Amino acid sequence: MEFKITTNSEIETVELAQNFESEKFENMVICLDGELGSGKTVFTKGIANALGIDETITSPTFTIIKEYTTGEMPLYHMDVYRLDGKTEGVGIEEYFTKGGIVVIEWANTIKDILPKERLEIKFKVVDENRRTLIITPYGKKYEELCEAVL
């Protein structure tokens, strides 16, 4: 099962993320992939905003993991690009069961440790404002999530 959505602006990307957040559940894992500037962090900002997190959301490229605990549920935002697939000692897997929402940018680089059940979103740049998002749910919870939101 795969869904394809085109957003026409950052606002629409944020709104889509907020719709996913509205159907949130503990230990939700959202894996984001796409070229630089394709909207991965914008999508994460939408999740954070809907959770009531008022901190500035930036890509955690150099810190790898940022924890936001001021919202209605913890948000664990990861950017694993710099890991180059080497996750030993980082503790990423621990976050999958911490009761929050995990958003991973560049998730395809750590596919071998991702949970079997997850939501994958690939961002493709169409033009300056438009993005095509290819959304693939893995597992019944994520299929139901997509059916509720899309």
Say how far apart CA 132 and CA 85 lie, in whole Å: 26
Q: Which domains does the chain have, with CATH numbers?
A: 3-149 (3.40.50.300)
The length of the chain is 150
Q: Which residues contact 22 (CB under 8 A, 6 or more apart)?
A: 50, 149
Instruction: Write out the chain's pLDDT in tens, 150 residues.
Output: 999 999 999 999 999 999 999 999 999 999 999 999 999 999 999 999 999 999 999 888 788 999 999 999 999 999 999 888 888 888 999 999 999 999 999 999 999 999 999 999 999 999 999 999 999 999 999 999 999 999
pTM for the full model?
0.96
Cα–Cα distances in angstroms (integers) from residue 27 to residues 14, 100, 117, 124, in the given order: 21, 5, 10, 26
